[in-house]
């Protein structure tokens, strides 16, 4: 009876080669599911870091101060005072953190790609203008604050510094986490230090449109806030740093948000926050944690392709005039539009698509 059962099982499964094939299919299916879950976890941890890590770490530190472990919090606060100006002096990057495996899962979730169009000289410094902002600047983070897309291999000898809100570096723990990825404050002191006292081969990535641009990002729309954003050009002139236009196709596709009209109460509130705090609160949603058909904080898995354009040679002018700034700003805008037009059809946009510059 037992032999008959074994024979029946083998007859049902077929030959040995069929059994092996079935087991291989099962293995790859399980591996694919595990990788997908790891991708979701990697993106979720970053979204939560972006939204709540600073506040959460501050509250935890305050709580620890009120417990028997207060000495630990006191030691960290003493270190914080001592280390306060480090973000303004190039930070404290960690190649180990930048190479974490979790960032490769983060990259593959969308997926995110970095496209190089020209070589960058290690004898020069650069300011990359990143467009568009999107809701969270996912492409900017993955490409320039991690090694997931191979930025150091594609641009050997170039040290990228992604610039973000200076307020983030006043948050305990979060500041150290950001610095480990090569992220710096987007303020004059920090940028001046990197471009003048940190040697050559530095590239500061500035999301030029900032919070104002994030208020208008929505799937299917390619627009940048740039016409009156000229401070980064003035910085480039003062330091003789070449300008590099960067456009990230798909950055606006990963979240959906409620767009308020210019004269509405919602836009008024957003602008007040932007003016006094530095960021604008957006009402947005992505997909749910367990299903892409529900709403949640996870971004939609849409491809993001970041194209780094041709550098614009900038002369060093200690005190650039407004005429100088306007001239090189117009060259930059034209270069960005040409970059967009050249690559738009390669990444899913129709030839008739026009980049809107506001």
Which residues, other chains included, contact 172 with Cβ-Cβ below 8 Å and sequence gap of 6+? 57, 58, 61, 76, 77, 80
CB-count burial class (<10 Å; 0-12, 13-18, 19+) for 212:
middle
pLDDT for position 2:
46
Indicate the range of 6-15, 49-58, 187-196, 344-353 predicted with least confidence. Answer: 6-15
Banded model confidence at residue 27, pLDDT cuts 50, 70, 90: low
Residue 20, pLDDT above cutoff 70: no
92-111 pLDDT, tens digit each? 999 999 999 999 999 999 99
Residue 11, pLDDT above cutoff 50: no
| Nearest Cα to Cα of residue 143 among 298, 308, 302 | 308
pLDDT for position 280:
72
Residue 94 CA, chain-centre distance (Å), reads 17
241-267 pLDDT, tens digit each? 999 999 999 999 999 988 887 778 887
Banded model confidence at residue 290, pLDDT cuts 50, 70, 90: confident
184-205 pLDDT, tens digit each? 999 999 999 999 998 999 999 9
What ranges do the domains of the chain cover?
44-357
Banded model confidence at residue 283, pLDDT cuts 50, 70, 90: confident
């Amino acid at each position: 009876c037992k032999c008959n059962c074994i024979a029946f099982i083998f007859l049902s499964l077929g030959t040995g080669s069929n059994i092996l094939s079935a087991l291989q299919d099962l293995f790859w299916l399980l591996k694919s599911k595990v990788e997908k879950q790891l991708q979701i976890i990697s993106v979720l941890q970053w979204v939560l870091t972006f939204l709540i890590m600073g506040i959460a770490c501050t509250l935890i530190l305050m709580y620890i101060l009120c417990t028997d472990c207060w000495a630990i919090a006191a030691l960290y606060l003493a270190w914080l005072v001592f280390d306060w100006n480090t973000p303004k002096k190039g930070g404290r990057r960690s190649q180990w953190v930048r190479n974490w495996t979790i960032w490769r899962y983060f990259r593959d979730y969308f997926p995110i790609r970095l496209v190089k169009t020209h070589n960058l000289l290690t004898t020069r410094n650069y300011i990359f203008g990143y467009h568009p902002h999107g809701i969270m600047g996912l492409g900017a983070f993955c490409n320039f604050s991690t090694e997931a897309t191979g930025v150091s291999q594609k641009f050997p000898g170039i040290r990228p510094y992604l610039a973000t809100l200076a307020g983030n570096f006043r948050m305990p723990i979060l500041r150290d986490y950001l610095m480990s990825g090569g992220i710096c404050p987007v303020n004059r002191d920090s940028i001046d230090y990197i471009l003048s006292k940190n040697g050559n081969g530095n590239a500061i990535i500035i999301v030029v449109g900032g919070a104002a641009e994030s208020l208008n990002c929505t799937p299917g729309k390619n627009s940048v806030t740039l016409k009156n954003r000229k401070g980064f050009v003035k910085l480039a002139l003062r330091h003789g740093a070449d300008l590099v236009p960067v456009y990230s196709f798909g950055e606006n596709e990963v979240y959906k948000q409620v767009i308020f009209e210019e004269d509405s109460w919602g836009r008024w509130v957003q602008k007040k926050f932007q003016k006094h705090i530095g960021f604008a609160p957006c009402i947005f949603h992505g997909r749910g944690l367990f299903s892409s058909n529900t709403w949640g904080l996870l971004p939609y898995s849409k491809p993001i392709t970041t194209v780094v354009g041709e550098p614009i040679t900038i002369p060093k002018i200690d005190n650039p005039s407004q005429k100088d700034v306007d001239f090189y700003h117009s060259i930059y805008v034209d270069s960005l539009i040409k970059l967009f037009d050249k690559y738009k059809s390669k990444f899913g946009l129709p030839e008739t698509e026009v980049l809107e510059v506001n």
